[in-house]
Chains A and B, each alone.
Chain A
Amino acid sequence: MEKRAYESTGETLIRPIIRRGRAYYTFVFSLMAVIVWGGYAYYTQLSEGLVVTGMRHIVLWGLYITNLVFFIGISHAGTLISAILRVTGAEWRRPITRMAESITVFALMVGALMPLIDLGRPDRMLNLVLYGRIQSPIIWDFISIATYLTGAIIYLYLPLIPDIADLRDRLTWKGWRGRVYKLLSLGWNGSEEQRKRLERAIKIMSVIIIPVAVSVHTVVSWIFGMTLRVGWHSSIFGPYFVVGAIFSGIATIIIAMFVFRRVYHLERYITALHFKHLGLMLLALDASYIYFTISEYLTASYGAEAADLELLGALFWGQYAPEFWVFAIGGLVIPAFMIALPRTRTPAGVTVAAILVNIGMWLKRFIIIIPTLSRPMLPYEWGQYQPTWVEWSITAASVAGFILLITIFSRFLPIVSVWETVGERMATEGGIPLPSTFTMAANTHSVPLSGEESDRV
């Protein structure tokens, strides 16, 4: 691997914050247009009721719940990449942790909105707090998502403090932005004492956030797993969802890495190595997900209970076969080969695989939810579900909202952690008052960055 050429000031990393071109505003406004359209769709839903959706008596949940599972899924990105790599002291993580952590926060925000949009009576949302019953998996979800969101925001914020202080000192902006940076930097001056405390706080958070994240997706799966429905009532659901979440989470980071690298010219920081490492992690999760999928369907089909077979028939060759096979082949098998073969294991190749994975995983969530609901519990005919323009519009708006949040974030705060990536270099050269710390854990202090580079490849 080529030796990483550090800039002395990490200027590339904060350039997007200083300069915003026409392209940025065009992009933001087009995203906003989609969101406004989604807002109009939601307004229609509020005034007419859920009757404007395709959901009805049998298929009583649809795209909104699919999106909930999808967004909560990609929110796992931050946890895995950031926390696990921090805990294990993997040095290559440095330029991508911030990206991962922000994906977590914003995906969670959008995801948490979905069940609220799905409510028949959003005006009574507060009843969840006033009359919450701990016996209900929805309350488990409410608590665990709220906990995760709080934790994820703290976990995103802590490593941001030195960078915010850096912006405060470096940009010396007057006006509201200067004041906000000053406020958020919490008086950071990079002293030994502050550094020690910050390191400790990040270390504690990175351990705490892992079980919280695992619990969130487990509990989301239990919304389905705790019912008596064929296709849902399965003890594999908790781990199945957690693995699926990490899988689509990594895919999302890869896509974000590719885009930010291109648009913000971060080639020096985000290298082919990152795509290779994350690509291989994606491959490992892909294999795990294939394993879980086979376990789930083989167990259901071998026993050959009539109800199980009915559902599997609909998936394998019936009504939902197109979605199922696009997911299985396009979302699992093809990406696996693309990453496994060195020829396609390039940044672009890995990114295409990641996009396929996310399309596949969205479809997978769809075919977890819809077919099970369509299969009647009594001798009915099968339920039908055709999402309406309202549901598609709100879905598009939620994707746009997620992209918008992360875009705006990257324009106010560095999307690659400056102090963790180039901090050491800057400190040794006696530049601006950045923390001399670049390492998080005490043990990595003894390993110089250059030494780390040599055993990378």
Chain B
Amino acid sequence: MRASRRSFVKAVGGATAAIAAFFGLAGRDFTLFTKAVAPSNGGKPRKWVMVIDLERCDGCKKCTEACINENLVPPTFGAEPSFQGFQEWIKVFELNHEEGAAHQHQEAGAHLPTPCMNCQNAPCVKVCPVGATFYSEDGIVLIDNTRCIGCRFCMAACPYERRFFNWGEPPHSAQEQLIEYDPRYPVPHRRGTVEKCMFCAHRVEKGRLPACVEACNKAGMKAIYFGDAFEDVVTNGSEVVRLSELLSRRGGYRLKEELGTKPRVYYLPPTGR
């Protein structure tokens, strides 16, 4: 049978539509883990935010330490700098005078704890080729380590360098054998995939504060607040304050606001120093 041009074009068109439909359906799949995880709030999802008071932070790195213990954070595999060889999902930068001058509102001698900003217009989520990183319904950027292909494009795209890669096999412990993997608590950690802070989603969904907030409170600094922007309250574990009031009174700002990434982490400048 001689194929006419018409039938050929039709066949090509049909095949294209089928492939497009396939990709479309496959694309749907990445909502797999985005079901609501927050504690009930009258049916409304949460809008988790973190506020870090640079006035109070003395750079003790208790938050980093607590984070590593809580999340069984893998080592950096030789990448420097690091905290005792571990990935610093929340890193405390020490700003000396020169560096501090380059960054708004930060003065000499200040410390800058930086977790993942959990941006609401996240460059990392945008570039992921397989939908392995995504927003949870309450606005936390999560990673599905069972889908991540390890291309590291999200790390290249992150303007805060808050993503980490398991370059080798992360150490495993007996403790983690009891844990079932979930993007909200990505343990056991997987080689060749990307990891980061996710506001301790596994704790938050049970109504607990992230490990860093708790540790900061225990250390007496009480510099990190966590809460729900919909309800307009945040707490550092000791006091509960109104988010909007706190931000406007203290002149709260976000890192690299100009990039339009809409971070969920706010900073209160160290005015009194």
A133 at the interface (CB under 8 A from B): yes
Query: How many of chain A's residues touch chain B, expressed as a range?
Result: 35 or more
| A408 adjacent to chain B (CB < 8 Å) | no
Interface residues of B (CB under 8 A from A): 23, 26-27, 29-30, 76-79, 81, 87, 93, 95, 99-100, 102-103, 112, 114, 123, 126-132, 147-153, 155-161, 164-169, 191-194, 255, 259
The chain B residue with its CB closest to the CB of A52 is B168
Contact of A133 among B95, B114, B129, B167 (CB under 8 A): B129
CA distance A226 to B124 in the complex (A): 11
**Interface pairs A-B: 5 shortest CB-CB:** A120-B150, A120-B192, A51-B168, A56-B79, A138-B129
Contact B152 A60 (CB under 8 A): yes
Residues of B contacting A121 in the complex (Cβ-Cβ under 8 angstroms): 148-150, 192-193
Q: Is the interface of A mostly helix, strand, loop or mixed?
A: loop
Chain B proximity mask over A192-213: 1 for CB below 8 Å, otherwise 0: 0000000000000000000000
CA distance A48 to B131 in the complex (A): 26
Find the A residue at minimum CB distance from B261: A228
Asked whether A50 and B127 contact (CB < 8 A) given A57-B164, A124-B149, A306-B102, the answer is: no
Q: Quick one: given A228-B159, A380-B81, are A119 and B192 in contact (CB under 8 Å)?
A: yes
B103 engages A49 (CB within 8 Å): no
- The closest CB in chain B to the CB of A55 belongs to B167
Could you name 25 residue pairs across A and B whose Cβ atoms are closer than 8 Å? Answer: A49-B166, A49-B192, A55-B167, A56-B76, A57-B87, A60-B165, A118-B151, A118-B152, A119-B150, A120-B152, A130-B26, A131-B29, A131-B132, A132-B23, A133-B30, A133-B128, A133-B131, A138-B129, A139-B129, A223-B153, A226-B157, A378-B114, A379-B99, A379-B102, A379-B103
A133 to B131, CA, bound (A): 6
CA distance A139 to B26 in the complex (A): 13
Chain A 34-54 interface 0/1 with B at a Cβ cutoff of 8 Å (1 = within) = 000000000000001111010
**Complex: chain A residue closest to B94, CB-CB:** A379
Q: Which listed residue (B112, B130, B150, B158) contacts A379, Cβ 8 A?
A: B112
Which of B23, B153, B156, B157 has the most CB atoms of chain A within a 10 A radius of its CB?
B156
The answer to whether B166 touches A131 (Cβ under 8 A) is no
Whether A58 pairs with B129 at a CB distance below 8 angstroms is no
Give the interface of A toward B (CB within 8 A): 48-51, 53, 55-58, 60-61, 115, 118-122, 124-125, 127-139, 142, 223, 226-229, 306, 373, 376-381
Inter-subunit contact A131/B76 (CB<8 Å)? no
Chain B neighbourhood of A124, CB < 8 A: 130, 147-150
Shortest Cβ distance from B154 into chain A, in angstroms? 10
Known: A124-B149, A125-B149. A134 touches B23 (CB 8 A): yes
Please measure, in the bound complex, the distance between the C-alpha atom of A97 and the C-alpha atom of B168, giving whole angstroms: 45
Query: A119-B150, A120-B192, A379-B93 are contacts. A136–B129 as well, Cβ < 8 Å?
Result: yes
* Residue contact B157 to A228, C-beta cutoff 8 Å: yes
Minimal Cβ-Cβ distance residue in B for A130: B26
The complex places the Cα of A379 from the Cα of B269 at a distance, in Å, of: 16
Which A residues are CB-close (under 8 A) to B131?
131, 133
Nearest B residue to A49 via CB reads B168
Complex CA–CA separation, A124 to B78 (angstroms): 25
CB of B61, distance to nearest CB on chain A (Å) = 16
